[in-house]
Structure 1
Amino acid sequence: MGPGQCIIAGLRTTGSHRSVARCCGVDVHVSGIDGGRVARWRRSEFLRHILTLLSGTAAAQLLMLALTPVLSRLYSPEAYGLFSLYSSLVATVTVVAALRYDMAIMLPKHDADAKVLKRGVTRLIVAVSIGATLVCGIASPLIADSMGKPELAPWLWLVGLSIFTLAEISALTYWLNRRSDYKAIGINRVLQSGGTALAQLAFALGKFGGVGGLIGGTLVGQGAALLTLRHKGRDVRSGLDESQESIASLFSRYRKMPLLNGPNALVDALRTNGINLIIGVVYSQSLLGQFYMAWKLLEVPLGLINGALAQVFFQRLAVMERGSMFAFAKSSVFRSAILGVVPFALIYWLSPWAFPVVLGEQWTDAGLIAQALVPWLFMSLITSPISTIFVVTETQHLMLAHALVYTAVPLSLLFFLKGDIVTNLSIVSLAMAAILVVFTAMALWVGHRFDHQADSKQTAVGG
């Protein structure tokens, strides 16, 4: 999980006791929590939720891995390069299509209010998607020519549709998360990943390959996942008249979502997708395809290990006693490092050999790029869970400052460095790893300061 994101899983409790967690500057009321119940919850229901999510993610990733060696032989690096440019445009807009109000679906005390908020989120997504379709479609020749890829122009008319499916999937996932329907979320991940890969395979075998097959297959997979989620979350469309709140009043109540999380999310999107754009424009379409494949496959161990850790960390923070945050953050850093050291060591040593063997000889550069990216992604594994500490302590301004540096460094290096892309990416990877070391120290300092302030207040009251 990157800066600017927070996910609350499983905060569905009952009873007369009440505690208050902080999320993005908003009080989240959590009923029925005491020490004994929290302990039992962590041992049973909570772990079942995490295992359900993890099993869905694992199944989706394994299915994708099984089909990738086939797809890598049916689609060229150039096709994947064009697809990466298209996906970068889509992802940059998608992350702010709902102005981050989709995250707020988790927060209202009453389901009826959350349903009204979800309706408002969908309206925002529709408006942004229509606007993106018109802008990217009408200006498609200009956009494609500016990237030096005129052949991408016809496909830019589909950008709005891609934005809608992805953003609406995200909003419905937050609703299902609120309802603790983790089985549906897990099934959706498998359906989206597997459906996309199978559709891309069908397009290629049907002689409709190239970037069109990759984009079309992705839309088919996302569309199938969206229809499934709409069926599973159909209760979100009923009972809205039970709420006393309007969309405008709920947007006003949770206005800190776009104000605090929006900038971080946008900067993160600009970094990730800006790297793709620079590689595609400054280097070559083929090398962008190689980078895309390396990053895509390296995200598998990162996602499997990190997804559950990030949710566990935020969940623990939501009910944690003040005074123990630093110790917990430090243990999280140590645990993530231990879990990641063996997988990433294997990736470093085996990637140059494994990529051309498994994917085909045309993917030799992807193996070298994967090896170069290991330091960066290993540190990402360590820092992603503890990034939520800035949300809980309401110090998002520090996270935003870090995000700006974290974005400027790789974009500048890739733009100004000349020569071999593997060497340049090795330099970028080491620089990003160093920045994440600083981020880790900053997160631990924030946790220590938070605990110390609590101790000071208790001492003052006692005095």
Structure 2
Amino acid sequence: MKRPRALGGISRILAGSAAGQGLVLLAYPVLARLYDPTDFGVLVVFTSVVAMVGVLSTLSLEAAVLIPADDREAATVAWASLVSVAVTAVVTALVGLAFGPAIAAFLGVPVLAELWWLVALTVLALGVYLVMSEWMVRVRRYGALATRNLLQGVGQVTAQIGLGVAGVRPAGLLVGLGVGRLLGTGGSISRGGLLRQPRPRPAELVAAVRRYRRFPLVASWSKLLNTAGLQVPLLVVSAAYGEVGAGLLGLTVRVVGGPVAVIGQAVYQVFTGEASARVRGPGTGLAPFTRTAVLRLLATGAVPAVLLILLSPSVFGFVFGPEWTGSGQFAQILAIAYLAEFAVTPISQTLFILERQGVQLIWDASRLVLTAGGVGLCWVLGAPIITAVAVLAAAHVVSYGTLYVLSMRAAKGSDRAAEAAP
């Protein structure tokens, strides 16, 4: 990724991400004392439900925003996705009214039934956030993405600490997520933002959905399975080992997985913008570009992974308090899995860009079976939670290695087709 535009884009996004996510990380020692492991257990379940419903809300049409050569057509696709988000949020609220208590009890967090209105609002915020992000990636508004990442961190931390001090537990943790996502949509009104594009007519929205129907019909379910592969194991942990076990694992996911996801997202956004430009334009080089990105990410993440393995239990106990030492042990076990996620996730959009949704769907389903199935088997066999986390880590490593092989195969096929074209 030696191209100046790509490096500049990554540096700008990372600057905003580092500032915003730095605030979030600095806040966790405070949050760990304002909220107990049970509160974090509710947050784990809430986040998992919102993530799965939120990613389905867009019908994956936001991924198709990168494809059209014409900006007006791309904007129409984005608006179609936003309509789907609004409808999904309303349906989520209605489901909560009818089945909220039963769902919350099944997931082991009865208090969630009283907070279901937050689920619907956060689904709306997350869906809008996803669509706006892809539009900014398309137009390469990396500075706007950096500002967005900063505002997201500021909003989340301010809400969670303020409400925690006021004794609003566990709702303060949940509200903070929605506030952060809401502030993260600000780039939509920046120069070149989606809201500055012409509004499409209903017939154009229908035509856009018809043209990119493989995204709702195939890719949306693939993305749901992708998210489920990360979130369902956490739900199984909550159901099997209780709110405290889920809360300990939840802190690990946020303290370690949060920075991994944010930095990976920054690289992912720039990689996606540059890779899609290569596919739309003449020439080849997608496969070397993809391989180089993964190798450099592996080299970058290797040192933090080793430090996690060596130091995380003692560091977690010192920074967050003795009751959180178990989170450090989980971080120690998951270190290699997070390294694999860090290196491979940024290139995962390759299959979508090349319209290989079927391959992505198969991979997503396989990972869900490995991760959730492994944790579920540990539950059935009566294994301790530490064993379940180790099985989860191994499943993720195998899954991300497979995704790299599939992405490289697709990229090489695209390069060969470009070379053969007249």
What TM-score, normalized by structure 2, do the two folds share? 0.88
Q: CA deviation at 1:98?
A: 1.6
Which of 420, 424, 433 matches 2:388? 424
Q: Distance in 2 between matches of 1:269 and 1:221?
A: 20
Residues 421, 359 of structure 1: CA spacing in aligned structure 2 closer, same or farther, 3 A cutoff?
same
Q: Is 1:99 equivalent to 2:59 in the alignment? A: yes
Q: Distance in 2 between matches of 1:220 and 1:396?
A: 32
**Percent of paired sites with the same residue:** 25
2:149 equivalent in structure 1 = 189
2:225 equivalent in structure 1 = 267
Of residues 149-158 and 312-321 in structure 1, the stretch that sits farther from structure 2 once superposed is 312-321
Q: Is 1:163 equivalent to 2:123 in the alignment? A: yes
Q: CA deviation at 1:279?
A: 0.6
Q: CA deviation at 1:249?
A: 1.2
2:170 equivalent in structure 1 = 211
Q: Is 1:64 equivalent to 2:24 in the alignment? A: yes
1:145 equivalent in structure 2 = 105
Counting matched residue pairs gives 416
Q: CA deviation at 1:211?
A: 1.4
For residues 40-119 of structure 1, what are the structure 2 equivalents within 5 Å? 42-43=3-4, 45-119=5-79
Q: CA deviation at 1:323?
A: 6.2
Which of 339, 342, 348 matches 1:378? 339
Residues 441, 102 of structure 1: CA spacing in aligned structure 2 closer, same or farther, 3 A cutoff?
closer
Residues 192, 330 of structure 1: CA spacing in aligned structure 2 closer, same or farther, 3 A cutoff?
closer
The one-letter amino acid paired with 1:370 is A
1:3 equivalent in structure 2 = none
Residues 296, 325 of structure 1: CA spacing in aligned structure 2 closer, same or farther, 3 A cutoff?
same
1:35 equivalent in structure 2 = none
2:134 equivalent in structure 1 = 174
Structure 1: runs of 5+ lacking an equivalent = 1-37
2:249 equivalent in structure 1 = 291
Residue 293 of structure 1 contacts residue 366 of structure 1 at CA under 8 Å; is this kept in 2? yes
The one-letter amino acid paired with 1:134 is L
Q: CA deviation at 1:302?
A: 1.9
Residues 211, 334 of structure 1: CA spacing in aligned structure 2 closer, same or farther, 3 A cutoff?
same
What TM-score, normalized by structure 1, do the two folds share? 0.81
The one-letter amino acid paired with 1:274 is V
Q: Distance in 1 between matches of 2:53 and 2:183?
A: 21
Residues 85, 395 of structure 1: CA spacing in aligned structure 2 closer, same or farther, 3 A cutoff?
same
Residue 287 of structure 2 contacts residue 412 of structure 2 at CA under 8 Å; is this kept in 1? yes
Q: Distance in 1 between matches of 2:393 and 2:130?
A: 29
Q: Distance in 1 between matches of 2:191 and 2:243?
A: 40
Residues 286, 318 of structure 1: CA spacing in aligned structure 2 closer, same or farther, 3 A cutoff?
same
Q: Secondary structure at the match of 1:240?
A: coil
Q: Distance in 2 between matches of 1:48 and 1:233?
A: 19
Q: Distance in 2 between matches of 1:111 and 1:243?
A: 15
Q: CA deviation at 1:229?
A: 4.2
Q: Give a deviation string over 1:290-338, Cα, whole Å, max 9, x none.
A: 1111011112442354334434544146427766444444433322221
The one-letter amino acid paired with 1:276 is L
Of residues 392-401 and 155-164 in structure 1, the stretch that sits farther from structure 2 once superposed is 392-401
Residue 116 of structure 1 contacts residue 245 of structure 1 at CA under 8 Å; is this kept in 2? no
Residues 284, 105 of structure 1: CA spacing in aligned structure 2 closer, same or farther, 3 A cutoff?
same
RMSD, aligned α-carbons: 2.9
The one-letter amino acid paired with 2:150 is V
Q: Distance in 2 between matches of 1:401 and 1:219?
A: 31
Q: Distance in 2 between matches of 1:148 and 1:235?
A: 41
Residue 137 of structure 2 contacts residue 270 of structure 2 at CA under 8 Å; is this kept in 1? no
Q: Secondary structure at the match of 1:207?
A: coil
Residues 118, 348 of structure 1: CA spacing in aligned structure 2 closer, same or farther, 3 A cutoff?
same
Residue 72 of structure 2 contacts residue 197 of structure 2 at CA under 8 Å; is this kept in 1? yes
Q: Secondary structure at the match of 2:56?
A: coil
Residues 244, 403 of structure 1: CA spacing in aligned structure 2 closer, same or farther, 3 A cutoff?
closer
The one-letter amino acid paired with 2:351 is F
Q: CA deviation at 1:143?
A: 1.1
Residue 113 of structure 1 contacts residue 243 of structure 1 at CA under 8 Å; is this kept in 2? no
Residues 422, 153 of structure 1: CA spacing in aligned structure 2 closer, same or farther, 3 A cutoff?
same
Q: Give a deviation string over 1:328-378, Cα, whole Å, max 9, x none.
A: 444333222211111111111111111111111111110000111112111
Q: Give a deviation string over 1:237-271, Cα, whole Å, max 9, x none.
A: 46636879621112212223223421220101222
Q: CA deviation at 1:448?
A: 4.5
Residues 102, 357 of structure 1: CA spacing in aligned structure 2 closer, same or farther, 3 A cutoff?
same
The one-letter amino acid paired with 2:396 is M
2:368 equivalent in structure 1 = 407
For residues 225-304 of structure 1, what are the structure 2 equivalents within 5 Å? 225-226=184-185, 228-229=186-187, 231-232=189-190, 236-237=194-195, 240=198, 246-303=204-261
The one-letter amino acid paired with 1:272 is L
Decide which structure has greater helix share: 2
Residues 218, 263 of structure 1: CA spacing in aligned structure 2 closer, same or farther, 3 A cutoff?
closer
Q: Distance in 1 between matches of 2:209 and 2:167?
A: 47
Q: Distance in 2 between matches of 1:420 and 1:90?
A: 27
Q: Secondary structure at the match of 2:170?
A: helix
